[in-house]
Amino acid sequence: MRIVTLPAPDDFEAWRDAARALAAAEVAPDDVVWQVGDTPADLFAVAAGGQAAAETGPGATFSVPRGFVDLARSVVLADDPERFALLYALLVRLRRQSGILADQADPLVRRLEGLAKAVRRDIHKMRAFLRFREVATDEDDSRYVAWFEPDHHIVRANAAFFVNRFASMRWSILTPEVSLHWDGKALSEGPGASRADAPEGDPVEEVWKTYYASIFNPARLKVGAMLKEMPRKYWKNMPETALVGELIAGAQARESGMIEQARAVSGDNSVAAWQALREEAMGCTRCPLYKPATQTVFGEGPVDAAMMVVGEQPGDQEDLAGRPFVGPAGQVFDRAIAAAEIDRARLYVTNAVKHFKYEQRGKRRIHAKPGTGEIEACRWWIEQERLLVRPQMTVALGATAARSLLGRTVTISRERGRTIALPNGGAAWITVHPSYLLRLPDPAQKEDEFARFVEDLRGAKAALG
Ligand code: URA
């Protein structure tokens, strides 16, 4: 029996080194016990990372598919004591059955995929629901502290995200297992903490409340989704939840009416299918854009909408709010649909790419255009949304949306403002993206182009019949 002692519960490299050495020495999965901690190794032990060379046998070098490495990186973070053994069992099988990862019916593959998915969701929750509170030191020396209770061992794996996002702040993230400290230059680690170590309410909460109330548009509120999205266990840590009741009150009647209407027309199944799809998209890793983004920004609106509107990708504000078209481009869009007498509550609004792509410049996150690969990777979601909603008309705002819908490069000026049949049913209608209007420097041109945009939207509505 080999006993492998890994130094930390989230140490992928240590697991990989040990697994490599064991597999090369053809050690059967049942002959290995995996443990974490500083328990002394026995005579037959493999000190993770230490004896790889000594263990190498005839089959010392072998490669595994990239998909396995990605899966293993996530699974190692799961709070499941069997994870290391299960991964090693899959690694051993992979050497005999190279295609096994694609076999979704295989119980081991399914179990590991399930663990990876749970880990990805936990990573997303930490990014979306962690809230810093300011601890007053003196005026030039503010520090921010957040308390978070993850379900899995994801804290270290998420550190780079918080360093990038809050690079200029000095902060600490306290969790039961480990604490992270960023002093503006370097990241350090400390022991786990308890909730009592983190401060309660303070002025930074006002910033969050103001921000949250300002992005909150009751006409677009999805109460069910919101409550689902924000698990109860995080509510107590989030200052804006103090506002939720108030904000919901004004929107509840409209919201429930909308859901009722969707149910009446499409039956419960479509709503449930949409919720399941959205849930699935929250853990999407089809392209690397999920890594720096706060969260997946999925489409929203009635599942029986006759008209779907597709934008390019979420912007900075959408990435934080988790909802499409709530920032500056969303305001232009709202003005234009109002001028075209289209009710946003009847539209299904989504984006071609579901994660915010940006470049960090100092404190600012600057929009970066999604590439063809990213658009292609995300097409799957838009196709699922269209299959579910089955809109008569899908309006593409700008070239990225048009490319995603038609699967080819589109010149907007040539193809805007007319019905284009889509191969999988329904029609497309192409127009400009509202941020094109925002970028126009000349006020007169801006006004003209806005009027053309409104005309296009009116045309799309008229084409519905
Ligand atoms: N631009 C888009 O294309 N979509 C949004 O959701 C926001 C800005």
- Whether residue 95 is found in the same domain as residue 169: no
Question: Does 435 reside within a domain?
Answer: yes
- Predicted confidence at residue 138, as pLDDT, reads 57
For tokens 């995200």, what's the residue?
161
Is the beta carbon of 333 within 6 A of some atom in ligand 1? Answer: no
Is the beta carbon of 322 within 6 A of some atom in ligand 1? Answer: no
CATH code, domain with 407: 3.40.470.10
- Ligand 1 centroid to Cα of residue 327, in Å, is 8
Provide the number of structural domains found in the chain: 4
- Predicted confidence at residue 195, as pLDDT, reads 79
SS3 state at 21: helix
- Whether residue 329 is found in the same domain as residue 411: yes
Q: Which of 143, 178, 197 is the last residue of a domain?
A: 197
Q: Could you tell me how far CA 200 lies from the centroid of its own chain?
A: 28
Tokens encoding 90: 């899959």
Q: What domain range is 9 assigned to?
A: 2-121
Half-sphere exposure of 162 (CA within 13 A, CB side): 34
- Whether residue 100 is found in the same domain as residue 169: no
- Whether residue 78 is found in the same domain as residue 164: no
Is the beta carbon of 299 within 6 A of some atom in ligand 1? Answer: no
Q: Which of 197, 224, 243 is the last residue of a domain?
A: 197
Pocket probe for ligand 1: among 351, 397, 400, the residue whose CB has the most ligand atoms within 8 Å is 351
SS3 state at 222: coil
- Ligand 1 centroid to Cα of residue 336, in Å, is 14
- Whether residue 350 is found in the same domain as residue 212: no
- Predicted confidence at residue 22, as pLDDT, reads 95
Q: Which atom of ligand 1 is nearest to the CA of 324?
A: 6
- Ligand 1 centroid to Cα of residue 355, in Å, is 10
Q: Are 3 and 41 in contact (CB under 8 A)?
A: yes
Question: Does 276 reside within a domain?
Answer: no
pTM over 0.85: no
- Predicted confidence at residue 132, as pLDDT, reads 81
Interatomic CA distance for residues 86 and 27, integer angstroms: 14
- Whether residue 137 is found in the same domain as residue 101: no
- Whether residue 157 is found in the same domain as residue 191: yes
Q: Are 323 and 411 in contact (CB under 8 A)?
A: no
Which run of H or E residues covers position 328? helix 328-339
Determine the Cα angle at 12 with ends 34 and 85, to 5°: 30
- Whether residue 227 is found in the same domain as residue 84: no
Interatomic CA distance for residues 336 and 346, integer angstroms: 15
Interatomic CA distance for residues 318 and 297, integer angstroms: 7
- Predicted confidence at residue 171, as pLDDT, reads 86
- Whether residue 29 is found in the same domain as residue 98: yes
- Whether residue 298 is found in the same domain as residue 424: yes
Q: Which residues of 324-361 are buried (b: 16+ CB within 10 A; e: fewer)?
A: bbbbebbebbbebbeebebebeebbbbbbbbbbbbeee
Beta-carbon contacts of 101 under 8 Å, excluding residues fewer than 6 positions away, are: 65, 67, 68, 71, 94, 109
User: pLDDT 10s per residue in the chain (465 long)?
Assistant: 899 999 999 999 999 999 999 999 999 999 999 999 865 444 344 445 444 333 334 445 668 888 899 999 999 999 999 999 999 999 999 988 888 998 889 999 999 999 998 998 888 888 877 878 777 655 566 778 888 999 999 999 999 888 877 777 888 899 999 999 988 889 998 888 887 777 665 434 444 444 344 333 433 344 444 444 445 555 555 555 554 444 444 343 333 343 344 444 444 567 777 887 888 888 888 899 998 888 899 999 999 999 999 999 999 999 988 899 999 999 999 999 999 999 999 999 999 999 999 998 887 899 999 999 999 999 989 988 998 899 999 999 999 999 999 999 999 999 999 999 998 789 999 999 999 999 999 999 999 999 999 999 999 999 997
- Predicted confidence at residue 64, as pLDDT, reads 87
Long-range CB contacts (within 8 A, 24+) of 194-203: 195/147, 195/149, 197/147, 198/133, 198/145, 198/146, 198/147, 198/174, 199/133, 199/135, 199/145, 200/133, 201/133, 201/239, 202/133, 202/134, 202/135, 202/136, 203/134
- Predicted confidence at residue 232, as pLDDT, reads 54
